[in-house]
Chain A
Amino acid sequence: MTTNARRSQLSVYRPHDRRSATGSAAEADPVTTQVVRHSLSSAANQMKRVLVRAAYSPIIYEAQDFAVALYDRQARMLAQAPTLPAFMGTMSFCVEAAVAGVGGEAKLEPGDVILYNMPYGTGSHAQDAALVMPVYMPDGELVGYATNKAHWLDVGAKNSYCTDTTDVFQEGVVFPGVKLYRRGELAEDILAIVLANSRMPRPVRGDLLAQVASCRVGAEELVRVVQRYGSRTFWNCVERMYEHGEAVVRAYVEQIPDGRYEATGHLDNDGIGDEPVHFKVAIEVAGSTVRVDFSDVPDARPGPLNCPLPSTVSCCRIALAMLAGNSEAPNEGHFRPLEVVTRPGSMFHPVAPQPCYMYGWPLMSAMEAMYEALSRVLPGQVPSGSAGDLCGVQYWGFDRERNEPFYGGCSFAVGQGASARGDGATLFVAPLGQSKVPAPELMETKWPLVRFERWEFAPDSGGPGRHRGGLGWDVHWKFLENVELVSVMERTREPSWGQAGGLSGAPNRFVLSHPDGGDVEIRKVTGLRVSAGSVVKIRCGGGGGYGSPAERDPDAVRTDLRLGYVTEAAARRHHPQAFD
């Protein structure tokens, strides 16, 4: 396809039209606005707490693989709690699609809860199930939506986790907007379909009910806040709140010189073939508006590394909000300065039935590329690249004691990039936010068939520079029984990027050591049979450096050497200034 032909098919995502305002920002009192804003944030925090505490699976309470938010009637974001950033920017799409799925606003009734997991509408894979609860005032007026999206352990994909799907129908059972609750009554038949299609119905049921409890708390709180201030004042304040968020982000963007800044994102492969995938992301800054251009990316891949539009937009929203959002929880206003250009049918805007099970990996890489593009105009004001992955491995088998299948696994922190402010740390990548690495003691107790052998930094894995990239580390464990395994390792080929002369850190790596002594290097694989005694050896990669290694403070080099963060050979090579 020629470039011109492609251009003609572009889709431009723009924020909601402001003329549909439900109140007048000019009439809002700034103090009440601030109070309303904090009350809405607090309501979202309450939704989060209920979900975390009631959830069944560690992917919710440890990995925090969920988002919660409150929306107004036009699906504009009132508030969200700090949860999985990658999800946080998608929830408006979930609300709109879920409501459309049941036939539009007119079909909604108080007490309804909609279940929606269509990937092109949620931005995720089918396992990420959105619940949307319309919120009504006592007089029957629809004021907004309480919603959350959480990762279920299993909803009937070809495997419990997949790297090799070729269409969306292999990725799980789809609920295109169905009422899980009608007027407050649980639709037992819908729940039965969910559970009958899951390999792990018990935890899925627990997590689903926790999601419902979370929506209810959000709905009650939203009603309370509207009542507290009265509808008219409330909506005036909401409009003022959106204007505030918009002004904060625009003030930041205005400092960036106008221009088009490009970088290339990288993926090891698309899960089916083993060819590297590269894509170009451009950021255009004009005045106080940012346009992120994904038009020059490959066509949707045959394998599942395609990122549906809601997640592509989400990636841009969170990248912008984290950079320009004043370290505060964003609302609709923070997203207004943003436009996103995509090409339907491409890997950042797949269409049915293109596979998208691993949508999160192009999202992670796109965020790295966006910051790399910005580093060209804001050197040191954005961190260098991270190792760009969560180094995830999952495994399943049969738990004889409980007489049911079990599903284990976890994801890991990686080295983060250095910046003008200092060395990088070892943390989860930015789109994963408050995810937590479960403790080895906890995992061994929960899944007695794993035994950890190593949990240590890898010397020389941080990208050298004036400021060093965050260290990578080694995590090893042995399987004491036979299991089937999925590896979702990414970025084993392309390491983190450095800036201003800073170098890359070590890339991620996964080696499986068989009991007979053979080592196999693994990227992505689904359903690999692993025999008891095999050892998983994961190297979580290091972050990119900032500034020339020759400029690193000799004392900092000597400290790194003393602590074993770097070896002497590497220190002499990169930082001769410390050895004069």
Chain B
Amino acid sequence: MSSRIGVDIGGTFTDLVYYDDETGEVVVGKVQTTPSSPERGCIAAVEEVVPAAVLGRASYFLHGTTVGLNALLERRGAKIALLCTDGFRDVLEIGSGSRDTYDLFWKPPPPLVPRDLRLTVRQRMAWDGSVVAPLVEDDVRAACATLRSAAVDGVAVVYLHAYANPEHELRTEALLRECGFTGAISLSHRISGEYRDFERASTTTIDAFVRHRMSGYIRHIDAALRGLGFPGTCLMTRSGSGSMTFHEALDRPFETINSGPVAGAEGAAEFARRFGLERLITADVGGTSFDTCLVMGGRPQLLHRGTVAGLPVQTSWVDVRSIGAGGGSLARVDAGGLLVVGPQSAGAEPGPACYSRGGTQATVTDAAFHLGMLGDGALASGLYLDARRAADALAPLARSLDYTLDQAARGIVVIVGSSMANTIRELTIEQGVDPREFTLLAFGGAGPMMGTQLARELGLRDVLVPPHAGNFSAWGLLGADLLRSRARTRVMPLDEASLGIANGMVSELLASMDDGGSGIGATLEDRTEIALDMRFDGQEHTLTVEPEHRDDCIVSSVAELGERFRDAYRRSFGLALSDRIQLVSVRVARRRALPRRTEKLSYPAARAIAPTLEAFSFARDRRCTFAARHRGALQTGVRHTGPAIVYEATTTTYVDADFSYGVDAYGNLLLRREE
């Protein structure tokens, strides 16, 4: 009853993982992404990898996609209009006025709605929700005529302070329908209950912009799966962790906008919960980017604001930090004579030089392969890396730096590794935690190659390479809880009266979420989560604090909440203040876990390999003999001393000389730094 399929569509590859509860088997597959029609690529992957019998008894299909993201990046979305408060037509385009500090020519991305489709309506709410000026209904009617003549697909309605009083937005929706507008309508207060007009307007227009594309995509996949005999529930990962039903994703498409990159973080969170790991850092290295996220207490760290394609998104957001550093990152020597790696990437085409697809510039993969970090260079796809081409690409760099090939290659890997380590360090310092107390979870095609180096840079001891490390993001989909969340801003002093108001807001927010069935069987337990954004009176930035609650009601006292907030503040900033505290926003979520699964691991019979090879050790700063092993051949519970290269179908793990390695009882490859 708990068989499920996960499909994660990336820029280059579509990864698929399925779990069959009859056999406990977990099977992974990888097919080329079809950028022109990812929905067809997704279905093709299912047809190719999942046997019909398994599909016919699967309960869940879980999906992570970059379709919405790509629609934004490429600006291929719906034709949309914006209805906004009279006088505030250009909030969306003026934005924050913030610029890149070092680039004199920097410009912000153009707004999603051009100015001629930003239509103004006379009405005004105050910050406390009181009506300053009534809605002029004729303005809405006039706007409706424009929407129809411009043949827009959808419209975003963003009135000032609508989160405090949605009456005018709701009336506008009714009027648009009365006037015969049939396109999609996105009301800002439904998208976000938080203040900051530019960010809410940005989020609401993103919703309107991707809605059309997402709904076509979702409907296509749903219909095609049904056609193939899939009887279960379709779920999509949310930017803010967890998953939502396709039904819900059709209603709130903006929540899926970062659905791709969070799958790895979700997987890491499930992994942490399963193995009781209190503090985990992810190191997900792909072809073009390095993604990292902190998982504490079994949950990825959440933000309440994200950025996508240069636009702010006001929604719950897994705090995955990304930098342009991956296997395909290009190396060059800059004007000042230093070696620079990334953020430019060789991408899927031509890819690294050693892929023999026409690339000539050295990449991280070329450097790593030259150093022996990828072993014999036989990839799962059947491709053999070309050592000659890697060396040819490295040669010009080595010449201009007056280096040997090894030194140049080592330099590339060291520099890219230090950028990754710095990203992790900034993330931990910001949370007031010490990276040395964490375990590193390395995955993605190139993550296990970088694990030991990152651990050494960060001073941490253990690196875990999970099962299916190369497809871990897709595996992560399998454990995504069903999750819904909402938030609303109301700035109040922290006192008894406010707590009463906050409890009222909790009830309203929960009620607004619980409308409409989830389409999920009633056998699963729901759990409510409540959180409060708080700050010292006078500050702007808030910290999120979780109160005790019972029966959907906050039961913590004012004094307890104050203490929790001050503790959180001290942890983050090392300061103890006794100032007055404000409540700023109320956040609620309903979480529903999918049924547990019991997985068996298998590493399919592998090709013949040489027992040892020469590779470069960063710990010894020279080449030396590495053991070469198949992951499937490692005996459970036995520890070996490095250095070694460990092969598996979807990735290659590089174990430096200062690390030991072995497979634990759960099938995880654990690398441990030995002092």
Nearest CB of A to B107, in Å: 4
Indicate if the CB atoms of B115 and A49 lie closer than 8 Å.
Answer: no
Report which of B98, B102, B161, B335 forms a contact with A247, defined as CB distance below 8 A.
Answer: B335
Report which of A422, A444, A454 forms a contact with B161, defined as CB distance below 8 A.
Answer: A444
Indicate if the CB atoms of A33 and B99 lie closer than 8 Å.
Answer: no
In the complex the two chains form, what is the Cα distance from A322 to B99 in whole Å?
12
Indicate if the CB atoms of B538 and A440 lie closer than 8 Å.
Answer: no
Q: Is A105 in contact with chain B by the CB < 8 A criterion?
A: no
Of A31, A57, A428, A445, the most chain B CB neighbours within 10 A belong to A31
Of A30, A49, A61, A82, the most chain B CB neighbours within 10 A belong to A30
Report which of B94, B414, B539, B573 forms a contact with A473, defined as CB distance below 8 A.
Answer: B94
- A residues within 8 A CB of B574? 213, 216
Indicate if the CB atoms of B538 and A49 lie closer than 8 Å.
Answer: no
Q: In chain A between 445 and 471, which residues have their CB closer than 8 angstroms to a CB of chain B?
A: 445, 448, 451-457
Sort chain B's interface into a size bin: 35 or more
Report which of B90, B116, B572 forms a contact with A455, defined as CB distance below 8 A.
Answer: B90
Nearest CB of A to B143, in Å: 16
Given contacts A52-B541, A327-B102, A383-B105, contact A30 B491 (CB under 8 A): no
Q: Is A382 in contact with chain B by the CB < 8 A criterion?
A: yes
Report which of A30, A56, A563 forms a contact with B411, defined as CB distance below 8 A.
Answer: A30
Q: In chain B between 68 and 95, which residues have their CB closer than 8 angstroms to a CB of chain A?
A: 87-91, 93-95
- B residues within 8 A CB of A383? 104-105
Q: Is B196 in contact with chain A by the CB < 8 A criterion?
A: yes
Indicate if the CB atoms of B195 and A248 lie closer than 8 Å.
Answer: no
- B residues within 8 A CB of A39? 418, 422
Report which of B198, B336, B539 forms a contact with A55, defined as CB distance below 8 A.
Answer: B539
Indicate if the CB atoms of A437 and B575 lie closer than 8 Å.
Answer: no
Report which of A41, A56, A244 forms a contact with B337, defined as CB distance below 8 A.
Answer: A244
Q: Is B425 in contact with chain A by the CB < 8 A criterion?
A: yes
Given contacts A46-B429, A46-B430, contact A325 B102 (CB under 8 A): yes
Q: Is A578 in contact with chain B by the CB < 8 A criterion?
A: no
Given contacts A35-B415, A53-B572, contact A456 B90 (CB under 8 A): yes
Q: In chain B between 372 and 401, which residues have their CB closer than 8 angstroms to a CB of chain A?
A: 401
Indicate if the CB atoms of A244 and B104 lie closer than 8 Å.
Answer: no
Nearest CB of B to A468, in Å: 13
- B residues within 8 A CB of A32? 414
The digit string for A21-43, where 1 denotes a CB below 8 A from any CB of B, is 00000000011111101110110
Report which of B91, B98, B426, B539 forms a contact with A435, defined as CB distance below 8 A.
Answer: B98
Nearest CB of A to B618, in Å: 11
Nearest CB of A to B186, in Å: 18
Question: A201-209, A483-491, A507-515: which one contacts chain B?
Answer: A201-209
In the complex the two chains form, what is the Cα distance from A309 to B68 in whole Å?
51
In the complex the two chains form, what is the Cα distance from A421 to B401 in whole Å?
33
Given contacts A251-B335, A455-B91, contact A428 B97 (CB under 8 A): yes
Nearest CB of B to A374, in Å: 11
Q: Is A217 in contact with chain B by the CB < 8 A criterion?
A: yes
Indicate if the CB atoms of A326 and B536 lie closer than 8 Å.
Answer: no
Q: Is A45 in contact with chain B by the CB < 8 A criterion?
A: yes
Given contacts A55-B539, A321-B102, A440-B88, contact A326 B338 (CB under 8 A): no
Q: Is B23 in contact with chain A by the CB < 8 A criterion?
A: no
Q: In chain B between 564 and 590, which residues have their CB closer than 8 angstroms to a CB of chain A?
A: 572-575, 577, 579
Indicate if the CB atoms of B104 and A430 lie closer than 8 Å.
Answer: yes
- The chain A residue sitting closest to B195, CB to CB, is A441
In the complex the two chains form, what is the Cα distance from A440 to B572 in whole Å?
29
In the complex the two chains form, what is the Cα distance from A427 to B410 in whole Å?
42
Nearest CB of B to A221, in Å: 8
Q: Is A83 in contact with chain B by the CB < 8 A criterion?
A: yes
Q: Is A413 in contact with chain B by the CB < 8 A criterion?
A: yes
- The chain A residue sitting closest to B108, CB to CB, is A425
Q: Is A426 in contact with chain B by the CB < 8 A criterion?
A: yes
Q: Is A412 in contact with chain B by the CB < 8 A criterion?
A: yes
- A residues within 8 A CB of B575? 54, 209-210, 213
Extra A-B contacts (9), CB below 8 Å, given A245-B336, A413-B94, A419-B105: A58-B540, A61-B539, A221-B429, A252-B335, A329-B102, A436-B97, A442-B195, A444-B126, A456-B90
Binding site for B on A (CB under 8 A): 30-35, 37-39, 41-42, 45-46, 49-50, 52-58, 61-62, 82-83, 85, 202-203, 206, 209-210, 213, 216-217, 221, 243-248, 251-252, 321-323, 325-330, 382-383, 402, 412-413, 419, 421-422, 425-428, 430, 433-437, 439-442, 444-445, 448, 451-457, 473, 476, 562-565
23 A-B residue pairs with CB within 8 Å: A31-B414, A32-B414, A34-B338, A202-B538, A206-B536, A251-B336, A326-B334, A330-B102, A426-B94, A427-B98, A427-B106, A430-B99, A434-B99, A436-B98, A440-B91, A441-B161, A441-B196, A442-B196, A444-B127, A444-B161, A455-B88, A456-B88, A457-B115
3 residue pairs, one from A and one from B, having the closest CB atoms:
A413-B97, A31-B411, A82-B101
